[in-house]
Amino acid sequence: MTVADERLARARTVADAVLYEGYLLYPYRASSEKNRSRWQFGVLGPPGAADRGLGEAESMTLHTLLTDVTEGSSLTVHLRFLQLQHRQVYDGKGRAVPSLRVGARSELTWDEAVEQEVAVTSTLSTGARTIEHPVHVDGGEERETLAAGGSVVRRRWPLEAVVTLSTEPHGRFTLLRLQVRNDHPLRPSTKDDATRTSLLGAHVLVGAERCAFASVVDPPSDAREIVDAVRQDRCWPFLAGEEGETDLLLGSPIILYDHPEVAAESAGALFDATEIDEILTLRVMTMTDAEKAEARATDPRAAAIIDRCDTMTPADLQQMHGILRDPHGPPGTGDAPWWDPASDASLSPGSDAVVVDGVAVSRGSLVRVHPSRRADAQDLFFADQVARVRAVLADVDGGTHVALVLEDDPAADLHDWYGRYFYFAPDEIEPLDAARKES
């Protein structure tokens, strides 16, 4: 395996998390209500499905920036998605049934999925250019005979898609527009038809040869105008690979960040990034034997999760607690724990100050509030209100926050008594009276 292949393989570990996000949710059983509606992310439905309310839109489009493009530059797009595979169980008389008992286990009718990856390569030029690559994935059918006399038939439907790359020079940058479109020739008549001919969990990994990607998350200053003028449609571009590498891009239907990675403490896929691994694992371990048996029968990937959670050691669970990663917090003194201000004498929210427009603002200062970050819709009600500072706090990322109570609030004393403050950044307040202080 070449160095490039190894790096692409590492990038796939993150891409796999995107591919299977929401594939099957806890408690991983077919009978669970939350598993009646699946394939939440990156679904490219067949043409006409969205207009008829039968499925998702047929395309996704990302815009990103390239640098150092020459006549010898090229891009390889790895289009990755799941192809639905319907598993139908038949009894001994050939009748389609929802389930069939086979010895100590059950076979269930269910929608599985097969991973697909199609790579297409485009040679770039220094001028404007548009290239289309048709993509075809075969359907198929396999039959498995069961010991109970019945059978399981797994069926996949053929898929058609088009990958389109358009480039447009902008000074030292080249704007790349990459679109993936479901191009299935048949219009669906039901939701099941639409899902069976959809690309599920679709995303792209793009490798650059003899050129590089520029970040659109944090673009160079001379590229901000270009980035602000484009719109991402159901797919967002992020630099992939290790920190500092610029020749790999992940186009994801889920908003991430540059150089995303899977935490080393994660023991394996759980298909639900909204859950904390440790909590979800413990919940799996509390399932009854009957619930676990149904989960194992539902899907082979669910069976792997149940088996992994059942065999975890105390050391495995301890590792899932996680570790501290570069908090960038205030330095503090000595070895004081950064998460406990009470143990760090260098931090004193009641007496610390922050300089705003040349004025030291601290507890007791009067300020006028000018919300600009709109972290909360309620911020709009505080515009131009006068408030009194109750504390100046630092977070573990090095940010400063000013705790306030409104002067005209009849309940200001009560809010102050139980510490119910409103928090704003220093650039959202205007000092009014530097001389009026409270002890």
Helical spans, DSSP H, in 37-177: none
pLDDT at residue 374 in the model:
62
Q: Is the peptide bond before 46 cis (omega within 30 degrees of 0)?
A: no
Element of type H or E holding 197:
none
What are the E-state strand segments in 146-235? 151-156, 159-170, 173-182, 200-209, 212-214
pLDDT at residue 272 in the model:
83
pLDDT at residue 307 in the model:
96
Which residue shows structure tokens 């059918």? 141
The span from the CA of 173 to the CA of 196, in Å, is 40
Q: Give the global pTM.
A: 0.77
281 with 317: CB under 8 angstroms?
A: yes
The upper half-sphere exposure of residue 231, i.e. CA atoms within 13 Å in the direction of its Cβ, equals 2
Between the alpha carbon of residue 35 and those of residues 26, 31, 273, 291, the distances in Å are: 8, 7, 16, 14
The span from the CA of 38 to the CA of 77, in Å, is 26
Closest CA to 277 of 319, 315, 314: 319
The span from the CA of 327 to the CA of 333, in Å, is 15
Ordered by where they begin, the domains of the chain are 39-86+105-139+157-262 (no CATH), 341-433 (2.30.30)
Give the pair of three-digit tokens for residue 131: 């290239």
DSSP class of residue 188? Answer: P
Q: What is the pLDDT along the chain (439 residues), one digit of tens a residue?
A: 665 788 899 999 999 999 999 999 999 999 999 898 889 899 999 999 999 999 999 999 999 999 999 999 999 999 999 999 999 999 999 999 999 999 888 999 999 999 999 999 999 999 999 999 999 999 999 999 998 889 999 999 999 999 999 999 999 999 999 999 999 999 999 999 999 999 999 999 999 999 999 999 999 999 999 999 999 999 999 999 999 999 999 999 999 999 999 888 888 899 987 678 889 999 999 999 999 999 999 999 999 999 999 999 998 888 887 666 554 444 444 555 555 555 565 667 777 889 999 999 999 999 999 988 766 677 778 889 999 999 999 887 778 999 999 998 998 888 888 888 999 999 999 999 754 444 3
pLDDT at residue 18 in the model:
94
